[in-house]
Structure 1
Amino acid sequence: MARIVLPEAKIFKEIIGAVGKLADEVALNITREGISIKALDIDQSSYIEIVLPSDMFLEYTVENEEVVGISTSNIKKVLKHLRKGENLTIETSGEYVGFTVGTVTKRRYRFRNIDVAVPEIPEFNLDFKVTAQLTSSGVKKAIEDVESVGSVIEVDASSDTLVFRAVGSSRAEVRFTQGSPALISLEVREPSKSTYDVVKLATVLGVAEMSDMVTLGFSSKMPLKMEFHIGSGRITYLTAPIEVG
């Protein structure tokens, strides 16, 4: 049995929106320390991990550790028409999990607790040659600009510049240089360039709206990692590089 109240339902809406682009069903691992979610997309090219510590919640009552399986499409429908400031209550009771949205006027939903396997993900030991911290709004705009003209994004880093550009017949390029307001820090141990599916990167754009900053890591022909912080919570997203002929 658990009763958990998140003060801002929009946070969970954006998390489920991102997770739902990778998996139709996910498991919420609920412990006394907090909630964690892991999802891997069907071709195993992208992975997301969410950690929401108990101190993020208005109320956090958990009797025993449990795993709750939910349909992401069901939860997206529940959270579709949120009003500003509405909170979200999650309650578990054996075969069912309940979601209550709202503060004064409350909307209640109940779904069967489905059996969902938690992805077994090996420990990642990625030595990124490039690490950058940028404003989330700057990254979001750059990805949207590239996505508007192409399906492949090239991320290119030199000693003092980080570039997002479209690959293909159409052109779009967003350049962040040292001193740019959106580029907080840039560490380049080795100039690197790699290409990714821009739709995969766009998976977490909703999450970007909930965070002020994103930490980005990549190397040539290696996965790209994006990490967001929402309060004491953390969202980590990894996507594999693609080959462009």
Structure 2
Amino acid sequence: MSEDFPVYLEYASAKSFITVLKALGNLVDEALFNFTSEGLKVKAIDPAQIALISISLPSDSFLEYRVDREVGVGVNVNNLLKTLPAPKKGDKLIMRAGEEFYEVILEGVTTKRYKYRSIEVSATEIPEIELDFKVRALVMAKSYTTAIKDLKGAGTLIFEVNDDQYFHIKAPELNAEAKLSRLGGSIIDMEVKEASRTGYDEDYLARVLNIGNVAETLEIKFGNEIPAYLSFSLVEGGSVEYLLAPKA
């Protein structure tokens, strides 16, 4: 490994990695990528401070992961996404990083290499938040993704749960509703401490929706008039957590 790049990683699916980057880019222009011996972590809050995203790719989710020393790399996410081509099926993503520069390599039938300069990005200060969630649902990620897409343009989406059999997603402005159910197989498990109903901004839910295409399951937690917590378990390993404030 070059001394200029103390970090080297290979991720099996370039498509999955870039899909997660796109969700990040829908929230912030820049982010700090922290490479440690445990893995890659990225945390960011959108400028309006409505949503928090936390990406965690542990070392064992990579085909290869080596860190000679811990490095924080400031990434211009939107510039990165504009310059990277759409990955082809089967392409893997390789990344080499140091304090000043980082490289992204898409390797498949052909190999494409892109080099970027690290930018100055401050670490995101994450306030400690204690939330008393009343509902916890483990659902199929693709079922949730389809439900939200079917309600596109709703403005506000209401999460409503009254029992442990159904998870309602309602769009009052469209006079429409999508429903996840145990019987239909879209709900894997659900715990309900208290019937809950809260509205969230559809645009902010949609910003991370494509992660559902590269995730296996999704954990949803919420309660009455408190933020919603979404945790996508990625097929290739790792997770993306998303905390969204209720719509005022």
Which category describes the TM-score, using the shorter chain as reference length? over 0.9
Distance in 1 between the 2:92 and 2:237 partners? 18
Is 2:71–2:99's contact at 8 Å kept on the other side of the alignment?
Answer: no
1:9 alignment partner, one of 8, 14, 20 = 14
RMSD of the alignment, in Å?
A: 1.4
Match of 2:178 in 1: 174
Q: Normalising by structure 1, report the TM-score.
A: 0.94
TM-score w.r.t. structure 2 length? 0.93
2:217 to 205, 210, 213: 213
Match of 1:132 among 127, 137, 143: 137
CA distance in 2, matches of 1:78, 1:101: 12
Structure 1 position 34, deviation (Å)? 0.4
Matches within 5 A, 1:220-231: 220-230=224-234, 231=236
Identity of aligned residues (%): 33
What is the count of residue pairs matched by the alignment? 241
Give 1:123 shift.
2.7
After TM superposition, what 4+ stretches of structure 1 lie above 6 angstroms from structure 2? Answer: none
Which of the numbers 146, 149, 153 marks the counterpart of 2:157? Answer: 153
- CA separation of 1:78 and 1:84: change in aligned 2, threshold 3 A: farther
Contact kept in structure 2, 1:16 and 1:75, CA below 8 Å? no
1:80 paired residue among 72, 85, 88: 85
Partner Cα separation in structure 2 for residue 128 and residue 55 of structure 1: 30
Could you tell me which runs of 5 or more consecutive residues in structure 2 were left unpaired when the two chains were aligned. 1-5
Residue in 1 that maps onto 2:49: 44
Secondary structure, in 3 states, of the residue corresponding to 1:212?
strand
SS state at 2:183 partner: coil
| Alignment check: 8 A CA contact 2:26 2:208 kept | no
